[in-house]
Amino acid sequence: ETGVTQTPRHLVMGMTNKKSLKCEQHLGHNAMYWYKQSAKKPLELMFVYNFKEQTENNSVPSRFSPECPNSSHLFLHLHTLQPEDSALYLCASSQVLVGTDTQYFGPGTRLTVL
């Protein structure tokens, strides 16, 4: 499945580093999402972009900063993270206005904050 790609697949960073996660969708969709998957917790929605406009910010700390330059690309900029931010970060995309608006996911970025 290569419809949604994410880079890097694994990232280890210190608390003072700045890094970015990248997501790209090749499905022609118009909405993109960031989810966080922590151990023993349900997936949590972080951000939603619909037609490049942010439509939802699920009370995410400001140390996470999303960017959606176009409908195919989504970034998550990270700075001054905490160890509890270690998790799997999943990107998804969907085509709004069509049918069930099914979300398709990328393989995720495994983030470890030291």
Partner 1 sequence: AQTVTQSQPEMSVQEAETVTLSCTYDTSESDYYLFWYKQPPSRQMILVIRQEAYKQQNATENRFSVNFQKAAKSFSLKISDSQLGDAAMYFCAYRSAISGTASKLTFGTGTRLQVTL
Give the interface with partner 1 as residue ranges (CB under 8 A).
Answer: 1, 31, 33, 40-43, 45, 48-50, 55-56, 58, 88, 90, 92, 94, 96-97, 100-108, 110
User: What minimum distance in Å lies between the beta carbon of 42 and partner 1?
Assistant: 5
Backbone angles phi, psi at 58, to 5 degrees: -85, 60
Nearer to partner 1, 78 or 94 (CB): 94
Q: Measure CA 107 to chain center.
A: 11
Nearer to partner 1, 30 or 78 (CB): 30
Nearer to partner 1, 79 or 88 (CB): 88
Intra-chain end-to-end CA distance of the chain, in Å: 31
The residue among 95, 97, 100, 112 whose CA lies nearest residue 33 is 95
Tokens of 51: 């037609």
Tokens of 62: 């400001």
Nearer to partner 1, 40 or 62 (CB): 40
User: What minimum distance in Å lies between the beta carbon of 82 and partner 1?
Assistant: 22
